[in-house]
Amino acid sequence: MIIPALFGLIGCAILLSLGTWQMQRLAWKQGILAQIDKKIATAPVPLPQAPNRDDDLYLPVELKGDFTADELHVLFSIKNQGPGYRVISAFETQAGRRVMVDRGFVPTSEKVADRAATGVRVQGNLHWPDEVDGFTPAPDRDANIWFARNIEAMAEALETEPLLVVARATSEITPAARPVPVTTQGIPNDHLQYAITWFLLAAAWAGMTAYLLWRIRQRTV
């Protein structure tokens, strides 16, 4: 019985340690998400001259200027509203810069519309979304349909700086799109589920070990 018992104890110890490690990762991830939430909610600042992803991801900024008629449409859907598009517009600031603004969601029926606007104030967050992978289709440029937000490619198409501001609010009396602001909801945090899985496996392993030891004892008495 020594070898099965030892095998069972080692297996349980490994599974329990994996579950404990996931709980530690959970605490770490929750701390990171809390920092991001705090950064997102801080007061907006003027657009930095040379922002970068490492330092300025989620940075709240405020822009003043004009929405041009140049825009891209990224396939998107909202629960209980159905499919539509994210509207990515070129925005010309009062300081003479041309950047991109993710204005938010419009339903399919509003894909073609005049959304140009002047003298607009935009509050939002700098973002570098990581949505493109090897399975992402190339955009249908003729139909102006994109399948993911791709900063470099969109900036080239709109002739802007490779900067994207995801709008949280604008000064428009009637916003041309429903803002879809940056949040931490889309950041994966599955460590609790992983921890529960490892702990359940440890319990099952312990149960099977106990049953095996009981069967061995029954054969030897």
The model's pLDDT over 139-158, given as tens digits with 9 standing for 90+, comes to 999 999 999 999 999 999 99
Number of domains composing the chain: 2
Confidence band, pLDDT 50/70/90 cuts, at residue 221: low
Q: Cα(57)–Cα(60) distance, rounded to whole angstroms?
A: 9
Q: Mark whether 57 and 160 lie in a shared domain.
A: yes
Identify whether residues 155 and 63 lie together within a single domain: yes
162, 203: one domain:
no
Does residue 63 lie within any of the structural domains? Answer: yes
| Residue range(s) defining the domain that contains residue 18 | 14-37+190-220
- Pair (75, 160) in one structural domain: yes
On the question of pLDDT at 94 being above 80, the answer is yes
Residue 90 has pLDDT above 70, yes or no: yes
> Whole-angstrom Cα distance, residue 145 to residue 143?
6
pLDDT digits (tens, 9 = 90+) for 192-214: 999 999 999 999 999 998 888 88
Whether pLDDT at 88 is above 90: yes
Assess if residue 183 is contained within a domain.
Answer: no
Residue 212, pLDDT score: 86
Shared domain for 30 and 136, answered yes or no, is no
Note whether 131 and 72 are same-domain residues: yes
**Residue 2 pLDDT:** 81
Is residue 151 in some structural domain? Answer: yes
19 and 59 together in one domain? no
